[in-house]
Amino acid sequence: MATTTASLDPSLAPDGRHIVHAFTPDWVDAWQGLSPSDYEAEKERVADEICARLESVFPGLRGAIEFREPMSSSGVAPLSHLVGTPRTHRRYLNRADGTYGPIPSRRPLGMLSMPFNTTDIDGLYCVGDSTFPGQGVNAVVFSGFGCAHRVAVDLGMEKGWPVVDAAYKGLLSLVRDRS
């Protein structure tokens, strides 16, 4: 998943610039037992892979990076410094096994198996990093926006599509039951 926050709020970046935040889920097991140098090398490899994927959507992205945080004495930090791993989340966010978002009991069946705003209990809604679309400020804001919309539809304050909503809720229940 990738977001460009300055697209929604241009004041977050200088004129003509953007901030790109990209992430992909991973498991802490993949990051355990690595030496410090192997850990940094793996972060660099994953960052390169993510940037290569983003390059297909944002041509010229890598060549256009003007600022990276934290800055080194050379003015640009290694890309690996920008990569948060499950170990990072465990250390700085105090999340069990480095989880960042929902804690699945096993590998989920795609994003549909993440909890959405609705539940099987009428009138009970969920919002936050443990619901779709997951972790991060942007994702949590989107979760809150989606939940507010769902509540407004359920209260009749906004137009909904009852047939589509019922089918979608049934599909989500089916997927959740299997995950």
For the stretch 141-157, pLDDT in tens is 888 888 898 899 889 89
CA distance linking residue 4 with residue 37, whole number of Å = 31
CA distance linking residue 49 with residue 81, whole number of Å = 15
pLDDT band for 72, please (50, 70, 90 cuts).
very low
pLDDT band for 74, please (50, 70, 90 cuts).
low
* Listed residue (176, 82, 170, 88) closest to 132, CA to CA: 176
| pTM for the structure as a whole | 0.55
CA distance linking residue 140 with residue 132, whole number of Å = 8
CA distance linking residue 157 with residue 31, whole number of Å = 47
Peptide bond into 70 cis (omega under 30): yes
96 token code pair = 């069990």
